[in-house]
Structure 1
Amino acid sequence: MEKHPKPVLFVLMFITLFSDQPVLSLDFVFNGFNSTDVLLYGNSDIDSGILKLTNETTNVIGRAFYRSRIPTKTPNSSHVLPFSTSFVFSMAPSRNKGILPGHGIVFVFMPNTDINGTSSQHLGFLNLTNNGDPNNHVFGVEFDVFSNQEFEDIDGNHVGIDINSLKSEVSHKAGYYDDDEEQAFEEVRLNDGKNYQVWIDYADSVLNVTMAPVGIKRPKHPLIYVPLNLSDVFEDEMYVGFTSSTGTLVQSHRVSAWSFSNSNFRLSESLITDGLPSFTVPETPFHRHRSFISGVTVGSFLILALIAMFSLLLINRERRRARERAAMEDWEFEYWPHKMTYQEIDAATNRFSDENVIGFGGNGKIYKGILQGGTEIAVKQVSHENDGMRAFLAEISSLGRLKHRSLVSLKGWCKKEKGTFMLIYDYMENGSVTPPTRIRPGYESEVSH
């Protein structure tokens, strides 16, 4: 862990006269902590200048207070002294998988430091037996990452004002108002391990709370701004500090720097926020996420399955072609490029519907058809019986060689099982399917070979 800057402590206590009443003023800045700066209770500890309220231990409380009580009221008066404090905190979930994070940190004023009887389930702040008791004389600003419906929490990531109770008087979703984005609200995740700076000011019975990620200048617009009279809550002297806890929900809670004053509201500017250690949990590399690994596994399986299926289709198609070629006669190889599939012709003629019959030839019916793509054709059936096969071969032998205005072009041929053959011509409206051997006398010179 990177070491924190050497602790710097400024403490100034002096007595002034105001309306004949002595007033004690207190100012301190801790840029890092040592054991003489704060009182530690429960699970709290100091490690390399960082105040650790809790670690990854279940069901513990950690508290840390300024080393003595501080004046919070004008002596012999109900007037509450103003105060301004700022601190940097971070909360990080456990690195152990399967452990849910919780609970949070509370900045507190308390009349005593005793943690006996305090429940670790409730931020180390109060317990159910004294919750809501006005004799508690406790005030806190909570940074809570657990939504407890029993205390009407607004969500599992909020800031709340607590007075003698675990139920917040006022609460707001954690975040800040960005001055550079026209006061747009930017939500933050309190326990993402990042360092957040908090500013809490109380004066003239008004409390405001502001927060932002470390490195961002204090936003002009506070997160919480509420009239609040603490005269019945504060005693003449109080302990000020932090409390936190874990239950079955576990995370670490740390404070890296802290300033406090009841006379100088600009003392927070003395906090050093550069070079603070980060406690963010390293993100799992994308390629090691379970979802990524599962996706790659499933995707690879599907790709292999598709390759296998495609290969099988190719093999079956080649086998089918091999069987077809094995059953082919010699003349078929010669005119193979002009062969059309029976399925194609069957679809074009609407399964050789009687409605598509446009005539009769010497060896069978002639059908009109439309190929996929819109080309109109005429399909002439040729029987294998008698001279049908001879006429069929004679006609396809002229493929591509004869052109005449009185003749329609022969596009190709088709063979169906059981010896049925078909000749496919371009369709000519009001024309005829005239075999190219029937050229009328006098047109030989117009025939192009």
Structure 2
Amino acid sequence: MTKALFSLNSYTLLNLQSSLCCSESDLLHLQPPFSSMFSQFSLFLSSFFFLNSPSVSVSATEFIFNSFNSFNSTSLLLYGNATIQNSHLFLTNETTFSIGRALYPSKVPTRSPNSTHLLPFSSSFIFSIAPYKNRLPGHGFAFLFAPTTGMDGVSSSQHLGLFNFTNDGKSTNHVFAVEFDVFENQEFNDIDDNHVGVDVNSLTSLTSHEAGYWSGEDDDDENFEELELNNGENYQVWIEYMDSRINVTMERAGRKRPDQPLISAVVNLSDVLLDEMYVGFCGATGQLVEGHIILSWSFSQSNFSIGDALETMNLPSFVLPKGRKKRAIGEEIQEWELEYWPHRIGYREIYTATDGFSEKNVIGFSSNGKVYKGVLVGGAEVAVKSIPHENEHGMKAFLAEVSSLGRLKHRNLVGLRGWCKKEKEDLILVYDYMENGSLDKRIFHQYPESMMLSWEERARVLKDVGHGILYLHEGWEATVLHRDIKASNVLLDKDMNARLGDFGLARMHHHGDLANTTRVVGTLGYMAPEVIRTGRATVQTDVFGFGVLVLEVVCGREPIQHNKPGLVDWVWRLMERGELVLGLDERLKARGEYREEEVERVLQIGLLCAHPDPRRRLMMRQVVKALEGRSEGSESEEGMDVSLLHSADWSKRNSYSDGGGHPTFDEIQKSLLVPHLYQCLISSWRVGDNV
């Protein structure tokens, strides 16, 4: 196409640039809107001189697909469900788990020959995310640079057709994208369910912001206007990159481009973009469905005003007829229902089941609200957790539970049946009812002596909880951190099987990655020392919490009690004196239904889990093996015969230390493992069918 602006000769441009290129301090004194005009024009001049420098020999890419001369079957490479309809690009269709990708057919150079300097680019497009009648919308689309054609290694739903569970976050992806996402995924640390994000090799955005624009010169919250991405309106986006800075701006199509970018960030793409890349779009749906439509598109590596040439008049409208109410909080949460499986239960049914949330049906209290017993239509007994509407933390916890527990299925996790949200009323979660209540009531003198757990029952409870945590850490598609393992969060069903519940603080992340948590959460006495210092949760911090749980179940003592030493320190001192068995619950001692060597072995496992150094703690698969007592005949992943537990007499103190002095954690650890295979501690051991 003809570049009218480039009719200026180089001499004129050079003089113009010289006259405009004031110092940075001078630029700060320019009054708006001239300062914004200056920066945009300076950006154009810089790109012009770079691309037209005698030392640079590169064919800059430029194209435009306008509404009056838009896409056709030969102008783009189409993959998956991407189609051209009425000269517009549809990335997805009205089916669940739809996925599509469209790429400009020629590769775009990203560098000039023999240079590491990235070429600038400017792209603008008009899009619409079209809701379908009687369907909830999701998930989103992205503008992207990709190294290859096709859709290998991508999946739908929250992955937007960009990556999948396996490759997300890998530097070998060589993918740069700007996402337009209408679903909040905690595993990617999404800020909300209506945001724009800058992605490099991962769906965990480097930077993101709620979709919208600033109506003034400053990024003041009072000047910010939110734009709802999936309401069917047409929006124009401007994406510009130069000298490692990315600017992303958006507004309603046909409106003046805002002076202030929505996102402006330094992003070095030198190691991300190959010398030549494909540029285009991708989009995906999941159980939630919406249309992702590109109405027009421009791209240039030399003309940063090319977006002005996009036609914004006479565009089709995808807004649903009036009368459709803006999504209330309940409808927003319904997206979580469809995506994460537990179904919505009618408020009236829950109200009736709990006798109008009668106080007589209160069976406990969670960290966010009361817990009621109820009976659904059909006779199923349930536990109903009510979270106050004004409790902002409760809302986040509610979404975390639906996100985490809704997709987790294991016999040692509390089953989530469904949820409910009535406008301006409390949030409600409905669980399977656990007939025998919470574990803490069974070990802390809250039940009659006859209902106290025996030694065998306590040992089985610990095995059950261990299997549940192992599933969270290693048995699912992502690592789930519970972050609040304690006796009151362990529930007992009618057969006295233990199930871990209350996922209000749970977080998930990909296997091998670190969780992005920096806020101290949990319960004092169960939190690992490093959590208090750094706020970062890991599988090792969950192991610490489980170690404390082991000690309190065996000892019948809470981790922190007034005028008493901390539980972990107290058991440690007993171990130092060779008197571990004295830590056993006095009521169990009176019964005499236990074996000293088993008590000592379980307490030692608890101490190893609660080691102050996270690097010294056992992994949950090792803990499960130790609790199961399966020491002979198992194999490591390397095919070695291993015995996790030593066959020595646990009650003999001299088995810990050759010198007869106080044993150390290292000595205990070595006594728990076969000495000549001590290094197998760091290996991955199979657990078989137990998870």
* Distance in 2 separating the partners of 1:71 and 1:117: 24
Higher relative contact order (CA 8 A, sep 6+): 1
Matched, 1:61 2:96: no
CA contact (8 A) 1:63 1:243 kept: yes
* Distance in 2 separating the partners of 1:149 and 1:137: 24
Matched, 1:120 2:159: no
Partner of 1:173: 210
CA contact (8 A) 2:98 2:285 kept: yes
Which protein is bigger by CA-based radius of gyration?
1
Partner of 2:234: 195
SS at match of 2:251: strand
SS at match of 2:232: coil
Matched, 1:224 2:259: no
Residue of structure 2 aligned with 1:150, choices 187, 197, 201? 187
4+ residue stretches of structure 1 with deviation over 3 A? 9-12, 15-21, 179-183
Instruction: Tell me by how many angstroms 1:10 deviates.
Output: 7.1
Instruction: Tell me by how many angstroms 1:23 deviates.
Output: 1.4
* Distance in 2 separating the partners of 1:51 and 1:190: 17
CA contact (8 A) 1:10 1:27 kept: no
* Distance in 1 separating the partners of 2:107 and 2:61: 11
Partner of 2:315: 276
Structure whose residues are more often strand by fraction: 1
Instruction: Tell me by how many angstroms 1:285 deviates.
Output: 7.5
Per-residue CA shift, 1:29-69, capped at 9, x if unaligned? Answer: 11021122111111001111111111111112111111111
Partner of 2:473: none
Residue of structure 2 aligned with 1:28, choices 54, 59, 63? 63
Give the aligned residue type for 1:118. Answer: V
Instruction: Tell me by how many angstroms 1:100 deviates.
Output: 2.1
CA contact (8 A) 1:175 1:212 kept: yes
> TM-score, structure 1 length as denominator?
0.58
Partner of 1:101: 137
Per-residue CA shift, 1:227-271, capped at 9, x if unaligned? Answer: 111111000100000000111111001000000000010111111
* Distance in 2 separating the partners of 1:202 and 1:263: 11
Residue of structure 1 aligned with 2:146, choices 88, 99, 110? 110
* Distance in 1 separating the partners of 2:272 and 2:217: 38
Matched, 1:73 2:73: no
Instruction: Tell me by how many angstroms 1:77 deviates.
Output: 2.1
Matched, 1:239 2:275: no
Aligned CA RMSD, in angstroms, stands at 2.2
- The correspondence of residues 271-350 of structure 1 with structure 2, limited to 5 A, is 271-284=310-323
CA contact (8 A) 2:218 2:260 kept: no
**Quick one: structure 1 residues 108 and 10, their matched pair in 2 at CA, closer, same or farther if it must change by over 3 Å?**
farther
SS at match of 1:76: coil
Give the aligned residue type for 2:110. Answer: T
CA contact (8 A) 1:10 1:29 kept: no
* Distance in 1 separating the partners of 2:249 and 2:103: 21
Give the aligned residue type for 1:244. Answer: G
Q: Structure 2: which 5+ runs fail to align?
A: 5-49, 326-691
> TM-score, structure 2 length as denominator?
0.38
CA contact (8 A) 1:53 1:243 kept: yes
Matched, 1:39 2:74: no
* Distance in 1 separating the partners of 2:160 and 2:235: 19
SS at match of 1:85: strand
**Quick one: structure 1 residues 206 and 182, their matched pair in 2 at CA, closer, same or farther if it must change by over 3 Å?**
closer
Per-residue CA shift, 1:359-393, capped at 9, x if unaligned? Answer: xxxxxxxxxxxxxxxxxxxxxxxxxxxxxxxxxxx
Give the aligned residue type for 1:75. Answer: P
Partner of 1:160: 197
Give the aligned residue type for 1:268. Answer: G
**Quick one: structure 1 residues 282 and 180, their matched pair in 2 at CA, closer, same or farther if it must change by over 3 Å?**
farther
CA contact (8 A) 1:11 1:28 kept: no
Q: Structure 1: which 5+ runs fail to align?
A: 1-8, 287-449
Give the aligned residue type for 2:72. Answer: N
SS at match of 1:268: helix
